[in-house]
Amino acid sequence: VQLIEKLQSVQQFFAKEIQNVLDNHSVMGKDIEDLKVNYQTTSQQLQTLQNEVSKLSIAHEKIPYLFMLPDRTEWFSCRDSELENLHTLLQINDDINESKVQIASVCGLGGCGKTSLAAEYVHRWKDYYEGGVFWFSGEDETRFANSVDDHAVYLGTLVEASAGRALLKTLEEISKIKKPWLLVLDDMDEFKLCSNIGMLLSGPWKRRVKGSGHILITTRREPKVMRETVRGLIESQCLQLVC
């Protein structure tokens, strides 16, 4: 009798242990199912996020940066040959230019349409400049500094009370762009250029350009004077505009 009771006790113990194992297995099975559901949900959310980031990246790439660009002149006409010539000047040696920055200028008397020509050029070829179009006023030091600040605010390169530092950081940011970009320096007419404009035109930042950059200058200077003013610029890269 005692042996039977002991066997029954052992049987009950093992039955209880087996039930505990079955219960734990059931809980583990439920946990595993929950993990599977959570994994699938997380994977779907991650894929959705990746798709949204991809859409934002594509949209970002398709929208060129057009900073302070003058409106397109409705009455612009009879300058098609000049536009083609300007486009050719900016494309010359574009692939083999060591600095990767091609410079051209539009020269002419005040009021002959230099700025309008430059603006029309930007509008016609803006799709080519996928890296952006950056428009600076070179009329005087104050207006140039204001242009630098406007760009710096958008690019996150603004340095309070230091126009030179803001310009350096802005140019460094532009130099990192891998797609073609255009920088316009409009109305560079002052007899003596300020140091910051000199930095933009001839600074070492140009040697660090990652992609292909074009600099377009509008000025009242004669081509011969431009050659002496801008390092590396030759007279054949100056488009003389007449009224």
Q: Where are the domains of the chain?
A: 1-57, 66-240
Q: Is 23 exposed, middle or buried (0-12, 13-18, 19+ CB in 10 A)?
A: exposed
Provide the pLDDT for residue 184: 96
pLDDT in tens, the chain (243 residues): 677 777 778 788 888 888 888 888 777 877 788 888 888 888 888 888 888 777 665 545 554 566 667 777 777 777 888 888 888 888 865 554 455 799 999 998 888 889 989 999 998 888 889 889 999 999 999 999 999 999 998 888 888 777 789 999 999 999 999 889 999 999 998 888 899 999 999 899 999 998 889 999 999 998 888 888 887 788 888 888 876
pTM: 0.70
Is residue 177 within 8 Å of residue 131, measured between CB atoms?
yes
Say if domain 66-240 classifies as CATH 3.40.50.300.
yes
Provide the pLDDT for residue 135: 95
Provide the pLDDT for residue 36: 84
HEC per residue, the chain: CHHHHHHHHHHHHHHHHHHHHHHHHHHHHHHHHHHHHHHHHHHHHHHHHHHHHHHHHHHHHHCCCEECCCCCCCCCCCCHHHHHHHHHHHHCCCCCCCCCEEEEEEECCCCCCHHHHHHHHHHHHCCCCCCEEEEEECCCHHHHHHHHHHHHHHHCCCCCCCHHHHHHHHHHHHHCCCCCEEEEEECCCCCCCCHHHHHHHHCHHHHHCCCCEEEEEEECCCHHHHHHHCCCCCHHHEEECCC
Pairwise CA distance, residues 65 & 156, whole Å: 14
Provide the pLDDT for residue 119: 92
